Amino acid sequence: MKHSNWLILFTLAACSAPKSQESVEQEVMTIGSVERLDSAINALISADAKIEVLASGFEWAEGPLWLEDQQALIFTDVPTNKIWKWTEDDSLSLFLSPSGYLGDRTDKREPGANGLALDVEGNLILCQHGERQVGRMLSTLDAPKAEFEALATGYQSKRFNSPNDLVFNSKGQLFFTDPPYGMDPWDEKELDFQGVYRLDSDDKVNLLVDTLSRPNGIGLSPDERILYIAQSDPEKARYYAFDLDEQGNVISGKVLFDATVFQSEIRKGLPDGLKVHSSGVLFATGPGGVLVISPEGKQLGTILTENGTANCGFDSDEKYLYMTADGFLMRIALR
């Protein structure tokens, strides 16, 4: 996906684009607003909170992940096959290239990594569109190199579509989604469904859900007994909640919130990435920006970013919510 609001990009020229692949000083600008539909949102986002633009100029920013040891945020730019790093002190720098496709083709649409996570040992785990796999970066976070080990490449001897987003539970089980967004027209689709999977410590890939048309963002409730899935289908733009047993198997599911009717020219975007706050509240990207949804499925409000918003993530203390929205990296302070 490309930029849809070049006027904003022009007015935010002080937020330097990353094309030079160099660290740059960036002036913080603000954008958008917070829509408050229920007073419960005030316990999460203060009345004077502003949406800060930290960096701009990306093709389609995704996968924000906080690195506590470095006090840094890394995030992917899927079409350009790169991962960027942002810190409060040093601003923006290139973290890893390539990130999701290691071949020679230059005409792939979305070759890069998408969702990112850290395993229990602190290794970077990536959903790699171009390689159609879930991979592990072999180098350390302090000295990243584009060297990867495949953790999961397919199901029942058939290649994945393009793994998109992922989340670990405390047992080390990895849950991930596999829509076809990273596939190119010449790629062979080997699976006839878009799955949600669990990768166990014995390297076994378990299919959990095969009935969703476009599973995308994924998250777990604080007690790890509910698996949340965002579906990026314009006809069924929904967030689902699946109950899990103690082994991490799905035992039931329901629509938590249906955002289909909220799509408009003003409220751009579909359900995409999501994160679950320690309170159990969902911060789920969708029409307009980031929807704030209670565990019971009530919309408390929306962080209106004025852009199609791909994903979001917290720092370790949940002091900020970082958001990747089209060509921008943004954040908003939380209470």
Catalytic annotation, pick one of 272, 315, 317, 326: 272
| CA 109/CA 80 separation, integer angstroms | 9
Token representation of residue 158: 């058939």
- Is 272 annotated as catalytic? yes
* Res. 22: pLDDT tops 80: no
Q: What percent of the chain has pLDDT over 70?
A: 92
| CA 248/CA 163 separation, integer angstroms | 19
pLDDT digits 0-9 by tens, 152-179:
999 999 999 999 999 999 999 999 999 9
Long-range contacts made by residues 239-247, C-beta under 8 angstroms, separation at least 24?
239/271, 239/274, 239/282, 239/284, 239/286, 239/293, 240/212, 241/297, 242/208, 242/209
Q: Binding site annotation covers 164? A: yes
Looking at residue 12, what is its pLDDT?
Answer: 39
State the residue for tokens 């929306």. 302
Token representation of residue 122: 């602190």
Looking at residue 162, what is its pLDDT?
Answer: 98
* Res. 4: pLDDT tops 80: no
Which of 279, 234, 286, 228 is CA-nearest to residue 254? 228
Looking at residue 56, what is its pLDDT?
Answer: 97
Better pLDDT: 8 or 224: 224
Which of 329, 269, 327 is CA-nearest to residue 6? 327
> What are the structural domain ranges in the chain?
26-285+305-333
Is pTM beyond 0.85? Reply is: yes
* Res. 306: pLDDT tops 90: yes
Q: Binding site annotation covers 272? A: yes
* Res. 18: pLDDT tops 90: no
* Res. 16: pLDDT tops 70: no
Q: Return the CATH number of the domain spanning residue range 26-285+305-333.
A: 2.120.10.30
Q: How far is CA 287 from CA 82, 284, 290, 306, in A?
A: 26, 10, 8, 10
Token representation of residue 306: 């004025």
**Residue 27 pLDDT class (50, 70, 90 cuts):** low
Q: How far is CA 327 from CA 104, 120, 180, in A?
A: 25, 31, 22
State the residue for tokens 């393009």. 162
40 torsion bin: left (phi>0), alpha (psi -120 to 50), beta (else): alpha
Q: Does residue 324 contact residue 63 with C-beta atoms inside 8 Å?
A: yes
Looking at residues 41-51, what average pLDDT do you find? 97
* Res. 130: pLDDT tops 50: yes
Q: How far is CA 228 from CA 114, 214, 271, 284, in A?
A: 18, 14, 12, 10
Average pLDDT for the chain: 93
Q: Please list the residues that pair with 24 across neighbouring strands.
A: 92
SS3 annotation, the chain: CCCCCHHHHHHCCCCCCHHHCCCECCCCEEECEEEECCHHHHHCCCCCCCEEEEEECCCCEEEEEEECCCCEEEEEEHHHCEEEEEECCCEEEEEECCCCCCCCCCCCCCCCEEEEEECCCCCEEEEECCCCEEEEECCCCCCCCCCEEEEECEECCEECCCCCCEEECCCCCEEEEECCCCCCCCCCCCCCCCEEEEECCCCCEEEEECCCCCEEEEEECCCCCEEEEEECCCCCCEEEEEEECCCCCEEEEEEEEECHHHCCCCCCCCCCCEEECCCCCEEEEECCEEEEECCCCCEEEEEECCCCEEEEEECCCCCEEEEEECCEEEEEECC
Q: What percent of the chain has pLDDT over 90?
A: 91
pLDDT digits 0-9 by tens, 79-126:
999 999 999 998 999 999 999 999 999 999 999 999 999 999 999 999
Looking at residue 28, what is its pLDDT?
Answer: 72
